[in-house]
Amino acid sequence: MVSQHRLPVVQACQVVRLARAAWYRPPRPVLERDAEVIEALTAVVAESSRWGFWKCYDRLRGQGRPWNHKRVHRVYCALRLNRFRRTKRRVPRRPRVPLTAPPVLNRTWALDFMHDALYDGRAFRVLNILDHGNREALAIEAGFSLPSRRVIAVLDELITLHGAPEVMRMDNGPEFLALALAEWAERHGIRLEFIQPGKPAQNAFIERFNQTYRTEVLDANVFSSIHEVRMISNDWRRRYNTERPHDSLGSVPPLLFIPRPTSILEYQAQLSA
C-alpha cells in the first residue's frame, strides 16, 4: 500500500490498523519464533514421556527458561503432546442377587433409563418403572434431565397411587447411587437391590421391556418435542398394560393377569377423558 498508493507509513498502518512496528519489523515464521521452545519442550518429553503439561512447564522453569505458561502451552498443544486420559468410573462391587418374580404386586419394582433424541437433535432420557409381579409398566417418565430428585418425585407419585414396594431393582447409574435416593428408600422402608456392573441380564424384565418400548415407540416415531414423547409414551403404556398380549403371562395383558384396582380406575378415566 505504501508503494502502490504512495501513502506515508504512518497513514498506511492506520488504514490497515497495524502498529508501525509491523512495517519496520515483519513477523517471523511461527516455527522460527518458537524453535527454542520446541527444542526445550521436546527434550523434556523425550526424557519423561508420561509427564503432563504442568510437570513439563515446571521443569522448564527449573532450567531457567523465561517463557510464560501460555506460550509453552500453545506450543505443547501444537506438538499434540496433550494426551487425553480416559478415566474409568469406579462402581462398587455388588453381590449377585437372584432374579425372582413371584406373582405378587409391589414385591419388586425395576427401574432403568433409556436415551434417544428429538428430530432437531436434542437428546432426552426416559425413566421406565416396571412391576415384576405382573410386568405392568408403572411409569414412563421422559425429560431432558432426570436427576435423582426427579426420580424421587416420580416414585412418590407411584407410591401414593399404588403403595410402596418392598424392593427396587436397578443398575449402578449415578441417579440411583445418589445419597438422596438412599435416604428416601430408608424412610419408606424400601430395600435397594443393585445388579452387578456390566450385567444387564440381572435386570432382565426391565431390559426386555426397554426393547419393546424401543421398537414400538422410540424407533417407530419421529418426535418434534418432549411433550410429544410423553403423550405417545403414555398412550402406549395404557395399551401395553391393558391390551397388548404378554407372552410370558399366557398371552394376556399385565392388568388382566393380575388386576390392580388403582390402575384400572386410572386407565378408565383416561379413556373417558
Are 272 and 246 spatial neighbours (Cβ–Cβ below 8 Å)?
no
Are 13 and 23 spatial neighbours (Cβ–Cβ below 8 Å)?
yes
Sketch the domain layout of the chain as residue ranges.
Answer: 1-30, 34-85, 108-272
Q: What fold does the segment set 108-272 form as a domain? A: Nucleotidyltransferase; domain 5 (3.30.420)
Query: pLDDT class for 12, splitting at 50, 70, 90?
Result: confident
Q: How far apart, in Å, do the first and last CA atoms of the chain sit?
A: 78
CA 72 to CA 70: how far, in whole Å?
6
Per-residue pLDDT of 162-190, as tens digits, reads 999 999 999 998 889 899 999 999 999 99
What is the value of pTM for the model shown?
Answer: 0.64
- Grid cell listed for 236: 402406549
Per-residue pLDDT of 192-211, as tens digits, reads 999 998 888 999 999 999 99
